[in-house]
A and B are shown apart, each in its own frame.
Chain A
Amino acid sequence: MTAMQIIFLVVGFIILGSALMVVTTRNLIHAALWLIVTLFGVAVLYALLNAGFLAVVQVVVYIGAIAILFIFAVMLTRKEMRDRGPQLNRGWWLSGIIAALTFGGLFWMLQAWNGFSKTAADFPSGFDAVGQLGNALVSPQAFVLPFEVASVLLLAALVGSVYVAFNRK
């Protein structure tokens, strides 16, 4: 059991526990705060996987923008925050069965795959992952078209959401 494995296990339990709190807490503000804990755990996993840039983007974009947006939305729809009635619908046990079956199916499919328990090669020292990623994002031989399409999608979605949420009075 190396230090990396111990860190992974601790972070993994934090991620799964806080994810369970996200889907079960009654108070939605608390659910959004538990989501922030989950997102931090995922950022630590990115750092463990030598994807430092993605870890930073996770903190800045997910925690700094998306989670805060959730908290704003919960506050704007405040009347439902003090929950009257149950937070889960009548068929929640069926949803639990479906989720458990999904996990079981994924696990069964993955353990039949022969690359399941392979270990990573050592990360080459001096490999500039961030520079390579930047090159890949803007190089015409690589991913410049998907990258531009994603930015157009983001622009269109933000214009659309401003239009949808605009208060005409």
Chain B
Amino acid sequence: MIPLSWYLILSAALFSIGLFGVLSRRNAVAILLGVELMLNAVNINLVSFWRYGDISTMAGQVFAIIVFAVAAAEVAVGLALVISVYRRRDTVIADEIDIMKW
């Protein structure tokens, strides 16, 4: 059997890669791609804790499904904002969307 530690290390690494993407990419769509990686890392953790804990309570899988719904909502709103900003200001570079910067 696979020990729990393998799943946890894999999801920690995936989370860190996603964090790097969020912090370092300039394109707003690429930042959202990094957020997706982080959400997937969280989901791996939730499902593996369900499997390695008490499988008769379905809390881990239910939480994973709620994370799916939140991820879909986040992507829809985020991409709508990006497209709206692109129409008005003709850029998707996060550094250049600085109209509220003092």
Q: Which residues of chain B are within 8 angstroms of A146 by Cβ–Cβ distance?
A: 62, 66
Q: Choose among B5, B8, B57, B72 the residue that contacts A61 (Cβ–Cβ < 8 A).
A: B72
- Look across to chain B and name the residue whose beta carbon is closest to the beta carbon of A135: B58
In the complex formed, the residue of B with least CB distance to A99 is B20
- The verdict on A157 contacting B65 (CB below 8 Å), with A2-B1, A49-B51, A73-B79 known, is no
Known interface pairs A31-B30, A99-B20; A110-B1 also in contact (CB < 8 Å):
no
A117 in contact (CB, < 8 A): yes
Give the size category of A's interface with B: 35 or more
Give a binary string over B1-41; 1 marks a CB under 8 Å from any A CB, 0 the rest: 11111111110111111111101111101101110110010
- How far is the CB of B41 from the nearest CB of chain A, in Å? 9
Tell me, in angstroms, the Cα distance from A50 to B58 when the chains sit together. 12
In the complex, A19→B64 CA distance in Å?
20
The size of the chain B interface, using a CB distance under 8 A, is: 73
In the complex, residue of chain B having the shortest beta-carbon distance to the beta carbon of A157: B73
Whether A45 contacts B44 by the Cβ 8 Å rule is: yes
Q: Once the chains bind, are B80 and A45 in contact (CB under 8 Å)?
A: no
Chain A residue contacts of B15, Cβ below 8 A: 102-103, 106
Which of the residues B33, B58, B62, B70 comes within 8 Å of A70, measured between beta carbons? B33
Query: Interface code A132-166, partner B: CB below 8 Å = 1, 0 otherwise?
Result: 11011100001100110011011011101110110
**When the two chains form their complex, are residues A160 and B92 in contact, meaning their CB atoms are under 8 A apart?**
no
**A70 to B83 CA separation, bound complex (whole angstroms):** 11
What would 4 more interface pairs be, CB under 8 Å, given A85-B26, A116-B5?
A: A54-B64, A66-B71, A95-B20, A133-B58
User: A101: shortest Cβ distance to chain B, in Å?
Assistant: 9
A57-B68, A66-B72 in contact; A98/B33 too (CB < 8 A)? no
| B19 pairs with A98, CB closer than 8 A | yes
- Complex Cα–Cα for A146 and B76 (A): 20
CB distance from B85 to the nearest CB of A (A): 9
Is the Cβ of B37 less than 8 Å from the Cβ of A98?
A: no
21 contacts between A and B (CB under 8 A): A4-B1, A12-B10, A22-B17, A22-B34, A23-B25, A42-B43, A46-B47, A49-B48, A49-B50, A54-B47, A54-B65, A61-B68, A70-B32, A86-B26, A88-B26, A89-B26, A102-B16, A106-B16, A157-B76, A157-B77, A164-B84
